[in-house]
Structure formats: C-alpha cells, structure tokens
Amino acid sequence: MATFDITTIVQSLHEARSIWRRTQSHASEPGGREFPSRDALAAIVDSLKGVLFPMRLGPPDLRQESENFHVAHALDAALHGLLKQVRRELKYNASLDGDEQRDVDEAALTVVRTFAAALPDIRALLDSDVLAAYQGDPAARSVDEVLLCYPGVLAMIHYRLGHQLYTLGLPLLARIVSELAHGATGIDIHPGARIGPGFFIDHGTGVVIGETAVIGQRVRVYQAVTLGAKRFPTDAEGNLQKGLPRHPVVEDDVVIYAGATILGRITLGKGAVIGGNVWLTHDVPAGGRIAQAESRSGALANGIAAA
C-alpha cells in the first residue's frame, strides 16, 4: 500500500502560508474564512440571473403564475448570501486599514440594500443589451435565443451586476463576479469600466475591456477587440500608479471590428468605425473610419474589414 509523508508536507505548507501572511502584512487571528468565497458568489449570481430573467434563466419547471413567488424567495436567499460575502470584504478592508474594531455589519446591510434597489435598473440595461444583440445580428432569430445562447450577453449580465458592486466600494466581489464570466466566455470586462445601454459584443471570444474604459450608447464590438492601456505610469519609487485613466473613451454608435487593438486614453468619436486588426493609439473624430493600410500599395483600404 502506498504511503505519503503527509505530516511533513502539511507542516511545510503551514510555514509557507505563515511567511506569505507576514510579508503581506495581513496576518489574521484563528477563526473562519477571511476572504469572500468564489463558489458562494457563483451560486448567488446564478440565483440573481433567475431573479432578473425568471422565465428564461430561472428554474426549468417554473410557471408564470408562480413567477413572483420564485423571485421573492430566490432574491431573499441571494441577498442574505451576498450579505455574508460583503461583510467579509468589508472586514478584510478594515484589517488592511488597521481598523480591526470597525463595525461592518451596518455598512454591509446598507450596501446590500442599495444593490437590491438597483436591480430593476440593471434589468432595464440588460434588456437594452439583449435588444442590441438581436437587432445587430442577422443570425439571431429571437431575443430568447440571444439571452439563452450569446456569450456576450452572459458577460454583460455579470458585468452589470459586478459594476454595481464596484461602485458600492466592493472591488474584490465585483472582480470575482466578472472573472466568473471571463472563465466561461473568454470575454474579460473589468467591473470598473463604464458601459452605456445597448452594448453588443458579437461572438466575443478574446474581448478585453480595461478598468477605466468609458463606452457610450449603442456601441458594437466584435471578437478579439482590446480596449487597453498604452503605458503604466509609475511613482517616484517605481510602483505602478493605480486608478489613473488609461483606457479608451468610446462615444455613442461606434463599431469596432474583429481583432482591433485600441490603446491609451484616446477618444473614438460618435459614429466612428474601426476596421478589423487595426492597431490604434490616437483619437478618431466623430464619423471617422479607420482601416488597415493595404499590404501592397500602402493606400488606405476602401472598405472596413469584415468580422
């Protein structure tokens, strides 16, 4: 029978954890889990999907006459679960600030009540995203197909929920919610980005949208589009400066085709069209059209590269 030196490995892992906690300056006293749970948040978000779209993303045997009952029951359970996770993040933040005595219970309850009150507005924004996908894709046969099948819509559900948490001062919970969709779809939207209504991501795989990106209304992007940073400023000690605006501003009605890489705090003016595989680091005026140079002649291509 095979045997393993479990005791030695367990002790070595304990020492590794102790070193990490000391160097990161957040050693904790013995007790329960310190951080929010990714698994718990996944379950909460799944419940909230059924709250927002009960007849499409709720239980398979749900009937319309019991719709409100299901929404009330699922919402109550999801909010109580979320409250536990919010407490954990607020308590963790307090420990980082050196304020171990801070009472986080009332603050957590206020945050979750504010989040819950925002759900109708989040549903309205998601309705605009679903309609944009249906109206913008000739392959879409119904809004139900879009909601059930399109990875861009799934990513936007997570983004809209995560962004609300982000604005309420819960960046860790928000990031976990967004990363759950990233893992499932290949679409990476930072919850700090600001995205207006009617946003459509077609196909979606490989899309990256950075933390300080600002996107207007009725914007459409295709797969492998990056709205990223051109450079990362550092302070006098060489540390990255956090939170500075470093991602593009995309105004209303812009279309960005597949593979385009758009970097830095530049502005794409209203109605601009950015062609496929373009590398862009400068502003584009309203109505502007940017395409790759033709490989042989060097002249601008007459059309916009198709997705």
Q: What is the CATH number of the domain that holds 226?
A: 2.160.10.10
Task: Tell me what the pLDDT averaged over the chain comes to.
Answer: 90
pLDDT of residue 95: 80
CA atoms within 13 A on the CB side of 191: 25
Are 64 and 177 found together in one domain? yes
From first CA to last CA, the distance across the chain in angstroms is 58
Neighbour count for residue 11 (Cβ, 10 Å): 11
CA-only gyration radius of the chain, Å = 23
Are 45 and 168 found together in one domain? yes
pLDDT of residue 233: 78
Structural domain contains residue 29: no
Are 248 and 276 found together in one domain? yes
pLDDT of residue 25: 63
CA atoms within 13 A on the CB side of 48: 27
The DSSP annotation for 181-196 comes to: HHHHHS-EE-TTSEE-
H or E stretch at 54? helix 54-57
Are 43 and 135 found together in one domain? yes
Are 52 and 151 found together in one domain? yes
Which tens digit of pLDDT belongs to each residue from 8-31?
Answer: 999 999 999 889 888 876 555 555
Which tens digit of pLDDT belongs to each residue from 250-298?
Answer: 999 999 999 999 999 999 999 999 999 999 999 999 999 999 863 233 3
Structural domain contains residue 1: no
Say if residue 154's pLDDT is above 50: yes
Structural domain contains residue 18: no
Separation of CA 293 from chain center = 33
Determine the residue type at 57: L
CA 97/CA 89 separation, integer angstroms: 12
For residue 304, what are the domain limits?
A: 193-234+241-307
Say if residue 304's pLDDT is above 50: no
Structural domain contains residue 262: yes
Contact call for residues 255 and 274 (beta carbons, < 8 A): yes
pTM of the predicted structure, to 2 decimals: 0.87
Structural domain contains residue 17: no
Are 119 and 138 found together in one domain? yes
Are 121 and 86 found together in one domain? yes
Across the range 159-174, mean pLDDT stands at: 97
Across the range 151-179, mean pLDDT stands at: 98
CA 145/CA 150 separation, integer angstroms: 8
User: ∠34-102-19 over CA atoms, to 5°?
Assistant: 35
Q: What is the CATH number of the domain that holds 152?
A: 1.10.3130.10
The total number of structural domains in the chain stands at 2
Are 44 and 181 found together in one domain? yes
